[in-house]
Amino acid sequence: MPVTAGQPVVAVLAGDDRPDDLGEGVEVRLAGDDDLAEALSGADVLLVWDFLSYAVPTAWRAADTSRVRWVHTASAGVDKVTFPELREHPAEITNARGVFDRPIAEYVAGVVLAFAKDLPGSLRLQARGEWRHRETTTLAGRTAVVVGSGPIGRAIAELLGALGLAVELVGRRAADGVHAFSALPELLPSADWLVLAAPLTDATQGMLDKAALDLLPEHARVVNVGRGGLVVQPDLVAALAGGRIAGAALDVFEVEPLPADSPLWTMENVIVTPHMSGDVVGWRDALRTQFLDNLARFRAGEPLHNVVDKSLGYVKGPA
C-alpha cells in the first residue's frame, strides 16, 4: 500500500457518538448520514464509527470515491460495508476483530446462566412479592452448538466449556475441533443451546428458519449475538409462541431498534437487549486505539491488521 503524501483525509461516519481526537497530521471530516457523501469525496480513508448506520452504500454511490483506499468499520460484522460496489473497489476493508471477543462471550455465558437458573422468572416473582420455590437446571453435561468459529465464537466456546457444557463449534468448513456448516442439521437435535455468532453472508442469511428450528429439541434455547439477518424472525416468533423451543436471548434483530409492536418484547421466555453484548466500559477507547494503530500503518505504507476477505465477508486468520 503506497504512503499518502501530506495529510491523509479521513471521513468519519460518526452520528451523535463521535470518536476522540484521531491525532495530528490528519484531516478529519466528521459526517452523519446526510452529509457522508460530501465527506467521502477526496477522502483517503472512511472510518465507520457509527457501525449501526445504513448510510454507507447510498453515500458511496453518490460520492467520488476514487481516492479512498481504506475503509474501517468499528464493528466485528462487516455486512454494512460489503455491498457490491465496495467489494469491487480496490479499497481495503478492515474491522474491529479482537475488541469484542471476551465481552460477547461473557454476555452469552450470562444469559445461559440466567435461563438455566430462571433469573427472569425470579425477577418477575420478586416484582409481585411472590415467594415460589422452583427447581432449576444445571449446565454440566449440557450441549451448546456455537455457529461461528472466529475469535468471538471461540471465546464463547471457551467460556461455556469452563461452565461445564460440551461445545460443538461450527464454521464455514471442517477443521480441527470445528464442524463444517453443512453438518449443522446433524448437530441441532442434540443442542440444549444454539448460539449464533457467525458473520452475515450469503451462506448464513436466514440460516435459522422453520426447518432448522424444527430440528431443535423443545427444551432448547437460542442465543443470537451475530446479526439479526441470521434468523428468520417470524419463524422464531412462531416457535417461541407455540412452545416449539423453550426460549431465546436476542441482542440483534432484523430491524433495529426493535419495533415497539414486536411480540418479542412481551414474551416471558425471551430476553431482549439492544445490540449491546460487546459494549463494556472502555470499548470506545479500545476501538479508537485499534484504529489509530492501523492508521499509523496506513500512513507508513505497512500492511493493515484485520483485513477482510471481500469474497468471504470476514477476516481470515488470527486477529
Give the residue numbers annotated as catalytic, written as ranges.
Answer: 227, 256, 275
For 242-287, the DSSP string reads TTSSSEEEES--SSSSPPTT-GGGG-TTEEE--S-TT--TTHHHHH
CA distance 106 to 156: 8
| Dmax (CA) of the chain | 70
- Assigned C-alpha cell, 214: 424444527
| Contact indicator for 11, 40 with CB cutoff of 8 Å | yes
Q: Tell me whether strands 314-315 and 308-309 are parallel, antiparallel or unpaired.
A: antiparallel
Q: How many CB atoms lie within 10 A of CB 186?
A: 11
Examine residue 257 and say whether the peptide bond preceding it is cis (omega within 30 degrees of 0).
yes
CB atoms within 10 A of CB 282: 10
Closest CA to 69 of 317, 307, 315: 307
Measured distance CA(175)–CA(87) in Å, rounded: 27
